[in-house]
Amino acid sequence: MERITFKNETGLTLVGHFYAAPSKAIIIMTHGFLSNKSSSGRFDRFALKLQQNGYNVLTYDCGGYGESDDTAIHFEKQVTDLRAAKQYSQQLGMEKFAFWGHSLGGRLSLTCYDTDIETMILTGPVTGAIAYQHVDNFSKEQVAQCESSGSMIFYVDDPWRTEIVLDKQMLLDFDQMDQAATLQKVDCPILIIHGTEGDLEQELTQITKQGLDLFPKGTKMIELDGADHGFMEQLNEIETLGLHWLHEHFQLN
């Protein structure tokens, strides 16, 4: 694994980990809300397993997260970050592309679809509009701060930073997603993995089910019994499901 840096279109320096393999196929992994390139260790272990199976992997911190440059986060900024990660992958000589996204990283993957993306794997993805109050425990003080100053601060347990600044726009971004408009642009088979436990994951599962007919042909949705939004007890199962899916839908050559 190599620590790498690249810039997005606004000039922010983004930090990532590149797992090199002897192929031209790369999987770009995008983390969720208030997370980082490790994704609580999920992406670290998945990336190593994928590398062992011949895939190059890029994990990265969106701007304002992890080791990347500071900025107040909102969705469109993170869209530019994923596009920059893909451009960086092309500069490395990659020719085949797949996306892997967790939670909000799933929505980012869908939004950044392009015709050269061969497949996606999305765990606990945000696939439609959801009230921001359901995503995290925003306090009344935080929301008031956001309304008055245009941003709020989250203190996080992160190896690379102590706080993440949330732009007021991010609150709107959660409940302004147009599911149909997003999905009609996507044209690759997608493996969607949801869980059955916890209020947030149950709501995200229902949002996906409501729009399941909008997903492209070949999409498969799996619900893991007992899994909450973190999936920390199901990592072995997700790893196995993901590798099987990639062997079918993302050939190395």
φ, ψ at 128 (rounded to 5°): -165, 180
CATH code for the domain of 25: 3.40.50.1820
Within-domain flag for 217: yes
User: What does pTM read for this prediction?
Assistant: 0.97
pLDDT of residue 143: 84
- Element housing 121 (H / E): strand 117-123
Tell me 240's DSSP state: H
Mention every residue, 6+ apart, whose C-beta is less than 8 A from residue 243: 49, 50, 53
Residue 106 falls inside a structural domain: yes
Total residue count of the chain as it appears in this document: 253
Locus of tokens 């993306």: 117
Residue whose C-alpha is closest to residue 191's, from 214, 213, 210, 216:
216
Q: What count of other Cβ atoms lies within 10 Å of the Cβ of residue 150?
A: 11
Residue 113 lies in a domain: yes
Amino acid at 54: G
What number of CA atoms fall less than 13 Å from residue 145's CA on the CB side? 12
- When divided into structural domains, the chain yields a total of 1
pLDDT at 66: 98
- What's at 238, amino acid-wise? I
Helix axes 140-149, 168-175, angle to 10 degrees: 110
Contacts of 180 (CB under 8 A, 6+ apart): 211, 214
Per-residue pLDDT tens digits of the chain, which is 253 residues long: 999 999 999 999 999 999 999 999 999 999 999 999 999 999 999 999 999 999 999 999 999 999 999 999 999 999 999 999 999 999 999 999 999 999 999 999 999 999 999 999 999 999 999 998 888 878 888 888 888 999 999 899 999 999 999 999 998 999 899 999 999 999 999 999 999 999 999 999 999 999 999 999 999 999 999 999 999 999 999 999 999 999 999 999 7
* 75 assigned to some structural domain: yes
Q: What's residue 74's pLDDT?
A: 95
Are the CB atoms for 13 and 24 separated by under 8 Å?
no
Task: Report pLDDT for 146.
Answer: 87
The per-residue DSSP string of 136-186 comes to S---HHHHHHHHHHSEEEEE---SS-SEEEEEHHHHHHHHT--HHHHHTT-
206-222 residues labelled b (16+ CB within 10 A) or e (exposed) = ebbeeeeebbeeebebe
The pLDDT assigned to 142 comes to 84
The pLDDT score that the predictor gives to residue 52 is: 98
Distance CA 175, CA 110 (A): 16
Alpha helices in the chain (DSSP H): 42-52, 75-91, 104-111, 132-135, 140-149, 168-175, 179-183, 199-210, 235-249
Range of the domain at 24: 2-131+179-249
Is residue 38 assigned to a domain? Answer: yes
Residue 138: inside a domain: no
The answer as to whether 49 is a domain residue is yes
Q: How far is residue 89's CA from residue 249's CA, in Å, rounded to a whole number?
A: 20
Predicted local confidence at residue 199, as pLDDT: 95
- Token pair 């100053």 is found at 149
64 assigned to some structural domain: yes
